[in-house]
Amino acid sequence: MLDLLTSALNPRSVAIIGASDNIHKIGGRPIYYMQRHGYQGAVYPINPTREVIQGHKSYASLAALPEVPDLALVVVGGDKTVAAVEECAARGVKSAVVIASGFGETGPEGLEQQRHMVAKARAAGMRLYGPNTQGLANFGTGAIAGFSTMFIEVPPMDGPIGIVSQSGGMSAMAYGLLRGRGLGVRHVHATGNEADVTVGELALAVAHDPDVRLLLLYLESIANPEMLAAAAAHARARDLPIIAIKAGRSAGGQKAASSHTGSLANEDRTVDAFFRHHGIWRVRDPHEQARAAQAYLKGWRPEGRRLVVISNSGASCVMGADAADDEGLPLAELSPETQRNVAAQLPGFATASNPIDITAALLSDSGLFGKVLPAVAQDPAADLFFLNIPVAGAGYDVQAFARDAAAFEAATGKPVAVAAWQESVAEPFRAQGIATFPNEGEAVGVLAQVAQHTELMRRARVAWPALPDVPLPPGQDGGFLNEVDSLALLAQHGVPTVPLRLVRSAQEAREAFGAIGAPVVVKACSPEVPHKSEHGLVALNVASADEAAALFERFWLKMGDMGVARDGVIVAAMRRGRHEFMIGARQDPVFGPVVVVGDGGKNVEAMKDCAVLLPPFSAHEVAQALRTLRIAPLLDGVRGDPPLDIAALSALAVTIGQVIAGARGSIASLDLNPVLVGAAGEGAIVVDALVERAGA
Is residue 533 within 8 A of residue 602, CB to CB? The reply is: yes
Q: What is the CA radius of gyration of the chain?
A: 31
Helix, strand, or coil (residue 78): coil
What's the length of the chain? 696
**Smallest separation, CB 434 to its own copies (Å):** 20
- Phi first, then psi: give them for residue 679, nearest 5 degrees: -70, 160
Q: Which of 533, 553, 530, 551 lies closest to 542 in space, CA to CA?
A: 551
Contacts of 133 (CB under 8 A, 6+ apart): 97, 98, 99, 146, 168, 190, 191, 192, 193
**Smallest separation, CB 410 to its own copies (Å):** 29
Rank residues 122 and 284 by Cβ distance to its own copies and give the closer one. Answer: 284
Q: Which of 69, 57, 67 lies closest to 19 in space, CA to CA?
A: 57
**Under the phi-then-psi rule, with left for phi > 0, alpha for psi from -120 to 50, and beta for the rest, what region is 192?**
left
SS (H, E, C) 8-48: HHCCCEEEEECCCCCCCCCCCHHHHHHHHCCCCCEEEEECC
Rank residues 10 and 166 by Cβ distance to its own copies and give the closer one. Answer: 166
Instruction: Name the E strands within 462-555.
Output: 500-503, 520-525, 538-542
**Smallest separation, CB 633 to its own copies (Å):** 4
Q: Which of 581, 577, 579 lies closest to 653 in space, CA to CA?
A: 581
The C-alpha atoms of residue 83 and residue 102 are separated, in whole angstroms, by 15
**Smallest separation, CB 137 to its own copies (Å):** 14
**Smallest separation, CB 29 to its own copies (Å):** 10
**Smallest separation, CB 285 to its own copies (Å):** 6
Rank residues 150 and 470 by Cβ distance to its own copies and give the closer one. Answer: 150
Rank residues 249 and 269 by Cβ distance to its own copies and give the closer one. Answer: 249
Q: How many CB atoms lie within 10 A of CB 111?
A: 16
**Smallest separation, CB 325 to its own copies (Å):** 3
**Smallest separation, CB 521 to its own copies (Å):** 17
Question: Whole-angstrom distance between the N-terminal and C-terminal Cα of the chain?
Answer: 36
Rank residues 421 and 642 by Cβ distance to its own copies and give the closer one. Answer: 421
Q: How many CB atoms lie within 10 A of CB 452?
A: 17
The C-alpha atoms of residue 219 and residue 451 are separated, in whole angstroms, by 24
Q: Which of 364, 324, 335, 370 lies closest to 347 in space, CA to CA?
A: 364
Rank residues 113 and 587 by Cβ distance to its own copies and give the closer one. Answer: 113
**Smallest separation, CB 51 to its own copies (Å):** 27
**Smallest separation, CB 419 to its own copies (Å):** 10
Rank residues 356 and 470 by Cβ distance to its own copies and give the closer one. Answer: 356
Q: Are strands 568-573 and 127-129 parallel, antiparallel or unpaired?
A: unpaired
Q: Which of 516, 529, 584 lies closest to 558 in space, CA to CA?
A: 529
Instruction: Please write down the long-range contacts of 320-325, taking CB distance under 8 Å and 24 or more positions apart.
Output: 320/355, 320/386, 320/388, 320/419, 320/440, 320/444, 321/355, 323/440, 323/441, 323/443, 323/444, 323/445, 324/386, 324/444
Rank residues 469 and 605 by Cβ distance to its own copies and give the closer one. Answer: 605
**Smallest separation, CB 336 to its own copies (Å):** 16
Rank residues 517 and 633 by Cβ distance to its own copies and give the closer one. Answer: 633
Rank residues 297 and 361 by Cβ distance to its own copies and give the closer one. Answer: 361
Where are the alpha helices (H) located in 526-587, listed in sequence order? 545-562
Rank residues 310 and 571 by Cβ distance to its own copies and give the closer one. Answer: 310
Which residues are registered as beta bridge partners of 520?
542, 573
Rank residues 104 and 657 by Cβ distance to its own copies and give the closer one. Answer: 104
SS (H, E, C) 119-161: HHHHHHCCEEECCCCCEEEECCCCEEEECCCHHHHCCCCCCCE
Rank residues 93 and 188 by Cβ distance to its own copies and give the closer one. Answer: 188
Is residue 613 within 8 A of residue 273, CB to CB? The reply is: yes
Amino acid at 215: L
**Smallest separation, CB 632 to its own copies (Å):** 9
Rank residues 34 and 245 by Cβ distance to its own copies and give the closer one. Answer: 245
Helix, strand, or coil (residue 238): coil
**Smallest separation, CB 24 to its own copies (Å):** 7
**Smallest separation, CB 438 to its own copies (Å):** 7
